[in-house]
Structure formats: structure tokens, C-alpha cells
Amino acid sequence: MIEIKLAKTAGFCWGVKRAIDITMEAANGKAEPIYTYGPLIHNPQLIKLLESKNIHVKNDINGMSGGEIIIRTHGITPEKRNVLREKGITINDATCPLVAKVQGMVRKFSRKGYSIVIVGDDDHAEVVGLKGYAETPVHVISSGDEVDNLPMYQKVFVCAQTTCDIEKYKDAVERLQRRYANLEVGETICDATNDRQSEVIQLCREVDAMIVVGGKNSANTSRLASIAREHGIPTWHIEVESELDLEALNGFSRIGVTAGASTPKWVIDSVVQKLASIQRPILSKFPVFAAVLGFLVKGEIYLALGVSALTFVNMRAMNIGADRSFMVLSFCAILSTYLLNQLLRPEEVKRSKARKYYYHLKFHKAFMTIALLSAATGGMIAFSKSPVIFGLYAAILLFGGTYGMQIMSTRISWVSNLKNIPASKDLFVGLAWAIIAVIVPFQGIGSGKGIIAPLLFTFGMGYVRTVLMDMRDIYSDQIVGKEALPILMGKEKATSAMYGVLLVISALLFVMMGDQTGYMAGYLCGTVYMLGFIHYNQNNIWAHSAKFDMFLDAVYFLIALFIILLA
């Protein structure tokens, strides 16, 4: 059995996350392209992802006049900043605050007459920017070995590139102190770099091999790989999962995984999941069963069956029997809506990088056929019921299937306005679930009782599930819009909101229990299951596996089974 140890510090640092937030906010709702002055961060996968959002890298601004440009995390020189202003270009500054602080320190000590020494990579964008703030002689050294080659100065200020190797900087400072009597030392290596490098050193004591994930042109990622190699650990520096040499890694029992500050979590997740395939889990012994289960989960069929089961429970709770046609209608609505929402916007889906959605694109024709057949079947059933039910079904299909498409947002203003309502997506999904799994069967039968409890529970489950999926996307550094609650409130507050919604629903269900003890108990079991699922999966590394979706949506089948056993 292979043990995979994932570094806690792997993935985006707060400075990178801040830069992405600034960039996405600048691009939000704009049809014209947004430019970053050079790559926002050193990660080719994220750069491609941003390009799908019409955010492009601009290395040469000579032909640019007016417009808006985003300063990348590494910062730029004052001269370049002045050129941008002279051209009338609006500057949106995403420079890492720590880098900006170091820029200020270089300027401050330079104006006091100190010569400047920077420990780092001379051609790195951050160092190039730092040199621009020096008004006195400035020198860049890559290690302490170069100290003796520096000119003699009366007073010197030394600082490090924020992602510099800690030990390398300490050695350089010690040598500089011996060479210069008047030396000011800047503590400029960021805490995230410090923590990341320290954790790699600790991880090297616990593993037999190390995988470092991140851009090959990322200085901080390359240093992590160097540190691991210096500690005698076989190390592979890769950018994506396809570069893993599983045959070579199969000989190790403990494998460590870490990543640079500019590596998205979804890239790390993919690497971890591929490494896990070496372990030969139980399902791998039954490949046909595993393939079928994967198809059901990734193809949204499992979810659609779950909502169909929930419709069954709701109809029983409302005392309107269990008309199978309404269960089929729920199945068709959910299946076609969720599939079409992915298939009709392939470029948007590609940026998510989730394996589930790549699965949709890989078998695009098959899933499109399934989606259209499902939509047509549901449409015929809805039409046979009543004009009202057909209208509700068509509205869910049209709005849900095209939600998030750029063409819909630009050509139909009210769709754009609805989409821009903060946390709107989560609310709309909850409402759609309540309509298709509660209101439609209640309206179709024309009689019944106790609609409030099923309506409340179904809306809450659809809402919480959507927020939880948004949380998964944010955990994996996917770019979601402000229509998602976790973007509006932040992950911690969004998690509290999910707990709050489920607890309020539980309390109201308990109050409304009355003579429907069995059905209410089933609903309460569902809320307890979701509370436990949220708690367990807050930081789960398999959040983007089919296993996550399978256990998340199992709750609907469990409730239905509970009701059947009570009957």
C-alpha cells in the first residue's frame, strides 16, 4: 500500500489568491479583453485558464493606448509604471503586498545612500522590478559565493527575493556581514515561502520520494524541488499529472507531494488522484463495475436518480401517492439541465479542470444525445400533464441549461441581471429543485397536504449542495463568479451559512412533525447526513473525485429507503 503525504502548504499563497481576485473582479461583466502586464503568475495552466475568461498576457505595451492593465504579483519598475500612465492606461495593481513592501525598502535605503544587494535571480520579474527602485548602485547575487566579487561600499542594504531559498539567504547575509561593517538586513522572504520550504524539509524525513507540482519557470517551485534533492530524496518536478512516471514511482511506499505558491489546487488534486491509482483500490478489481459507477456519477445520472428518489419521498409526505411519471419528469429535468449547462459552454467548462467535466467533453456527442433525449422525454411528459407544468419544466430547462453562458448574459439583459445577483446561483438551484420535486407533482395531482415541509427540505438540500460544490471549486482554486455564495462571503462564512441553513431546516421540521413522524424523521436524517458530510469534507483531498459526488448524493437514496422501510 502506497502512502501519499500532501503538504499542508501546497498551492496558492494569499498573494496569488489576491491577484486572481483582483483580476477576476476587473474582468467581471466586461466584453473587451483584460490584459496583465506579463504573466500574472508563473503557472502555464492558470494562464490558459485566464485566457478562457478573456484575460490575456501583454508583454509589450508599445502599441497600447488607453484601456486597462493589471500589474502582476511580481510588480514592475517605476519607469514602466510611468509609461503606463503617460499612455493613459488605467492601472489595476495586483502586486503582492509583500513585494510592494520590499520595493519600498529598496527605495528608502537607496535614498539614504545605501548601496543595494539583492539575493535572488537576476532575470526574475520580481528582481527586475526591485532594481528599478534603487537610486544607488544595485547588485544581484544568486548565492553567498558571489559576495567577494562585490565592490566595497560604506553602507549596504541587503534584501532577498521574496521566494528566495532561506538557507541560501542566511549564508549570503553572514558573508556580507563579514565584508561590510555597515550592513542593514531586510527580512524579506515571505512567511508562505518560509513555511513551504520548512515543510518540505520535514516531509523529506517522512517519505521515500517527492513530487513537486508547479510551473517549470516558477522560481519558488524549482527551489522546493532543489531542497528535496539536496536532502537525498528522489524528486520529480512536474507541471501536470500526465508527467508522472507511475512505473518508477511504484517502487516507493511513501510519496510526498508539495507545490509552489502559484500552483492551482486542481492541478495538485489531479496529481494526487493519479498517484492514488497506484494503490489498486478495491474498485480496480472490478473494472466493469467501476466504469459503470463512474459513468453514472460523472454523467449526472446518479444525481438525477437521487432527485427522482427525493420526489418519491416528497409525494409520499404530501399524501399524493407515488406517480412514477413525476419521478421520471424530475429525473429528466435534472439530467438534461445539468448536462446541457456543461455541454453548451465547453470553454467555460475547460477552465474548471475537473475530471468530471472533461469526461463530459470527451464523450460530448454521447452526453449531448442523452441530454436532448432526456429533455424531449421530460417535455412530452410535462406537456401531457398541463400547460402550467410544461411551462415550469421548460423554464427550468431553458434557464438552468443555459445559465452562465456568455451569449445569454449579453443578449438577454434580465438573465444577466439575475446572474449578477450575489449568491444567485445557489438560490436558483434550490428553487429549481423545489419546483420540479415538490410543486410540479403537487400541482399535477391537484390535491394533497403538508407541502411546506417537503418544499423547505428540498429547497434547502438543493441550495446546500450547490454551495458545497462551489466550496469544492474554490478549494481547488477554480474561478467561479460572484453568483456563488463562497465568493461573496468567503469559505468560512459560507460553511457557517450551510450549517445554519441545515440547522434551521431541522428545527422547523421538528416543530412541524405532527402526525407525519416517519416522513419528518426521514428528512431529519437527511439534514444530519449533510451536516456530517460537510464537516468531514471541509479539507478532503479527494473532493474532486467521483467518490465525493457519490457519497454526497447518496443521501436522497437513503431517505427514500428509510421511507420505504417505514411503510
- The answer on 350 and 224 residing in a single domain is no
- The answer on 311 and 251 residing in a single domain is no
3-class DSSP assignment, residue 117 = strand
438 to 175, 311, 452, 499, 514: CA distances (angstroms):
74, 7, 9, 23, 20
- What's this model's pTM, rounded to 2 decimal places? 0.65
* pLDDT tens digits, one per residue of 502-528: 999 999 988 887 666 778 888 999 999
Note the helical H segments in 344-404.
Answer: 346-350, 355-362, 364-385, 387-402
The residue from 239, 269, 284 where one domain ends is 284
- The answer on 430 and 317 residing in a single domain is yes
**Cα 315–chain centre separation:** 37
Amino acid symbol at 275 = L
Grid cell at residue 160: 532577498
Note the helical H segments in 165-208.
Answer: 166-179, 191-204
Quick one: 65 exposed, middle or buried, by C-beta within 10 A (0-12, 13-18, 19+)? Answer: exposed
Residues 6+ apart with CB under 8 A from 213: 10, 221, 238, 239, 257, 258, 259, 260, 263, 267, 268, 271
- The answer on 115 and 210 residing in a single domain is no
Amino acid symbol at 470 = D
* pLDDT tens digits, one per residue of 175-194: 999 999 999 999 999 888 88
Residue showing cell 514511482: 249
Q: Which pLDDT score is estimated for 54?
A: 84
- The answer on 259 and 210 residing in a single domain is yes
Domain that residue 255 falls in: 3-7+192-284
Quick one: 565 exposed, middle or buried, by C-beta within 10 A (0-12, 13-18, 19+)? Answer: exposed
Q: Which pLDDT score is estimated for 283?
A: 53
- The answer on 261 and 157 residing in a single domain is no
**Cα 135–chain centre separation:** 42
- The answer on 262 and 306 residing in a single domain is no
What is d(CA 377, CA 556) in angstroms, rounded to the nearest whole number? 23
- The answer on 203 and 177 residing in a single domain is no
The residue from 50, 81, 96 where one domain ends is 96
Q: Which pLDDT score is estimated for 14?
A: 83
First and final CA of the chain: distance in angstroms? 45
Strands 235-238 and 55-58: unpaired
- The answer on 155 and 46 residing in a single domain is no
- The answer on 160 and 28 residing in a single domain is no
Q: Catalytic: 126? A: yes
Q: Please give the tally of structural domains in the chain.
A: 4
What is d(CA 265, CA 267) in angstroms, rounded to the nearest whole number? 5
Question: How many C-alpha atoms does 345 have within 13 Å on its Cβ side?
Answer: 20
Quick one: 383 exposed, middle or buried, by C-beta within 10 A (0-12, 13-18, 19+)? Answer: middle
What is d(CA 196, CA 70) in angstroms, rounded to the nearest whole number? 27
The residue from 233, 266, 284 where one domain ends is 284
What is d(CA 182, CA 299) in angstroms, rounded to the nearest whole number? 67
Q: How many residues does the chain have?
A: 567
DSSP letter (8 states) at residue 437: I
Selecting among 126, 239, 241, 300, the annotated active-site residue is 126
Amino acid symbol at 201 = I
3-class DSSP assignment, residue 252 = coil
CATH number at residue 60: 3.40.50.11270
Grid cell at residue 216: 517549470
Q: Which residues of the chain have pLDDT under 70?
A: 1, 29, 279-287, 345-358, 404-423, 448, 473-491, 514-516, 538-545, 567
Q: Which pLDDT score is estimated for 514?
A: 67
- The answer on 268 and 128 residing in a single domain is no
Asked if 57 and 47 touch (Cβ cutoff 8 Å), the reply is: yes
Residues 6+ apart with CB under 8 A from 533: 468, 551, 552, 555
CATH number at residue 129: 3.40.1010.20
List the one residue out of 409, 398, 463, 471 whose CA is nearest residue 431: 463
CATH number at residue 337: 1.10.600
List the one residue out of 178, 179, 145, 139 whose CA is nearest residue 159: 139
List the one residue out of 456, 414, 463, 425 whose CA is nearest residue 439: 456
**Cα 332–chain centre separation:** 29
Q: Which pLDDT score is estimated for 256?
A: 94
215 to 42, 44, 224, 264: CA distances (angstroms):
6, 7, 12, 10
- The answer on 66 and 127 residing in a single domain is no
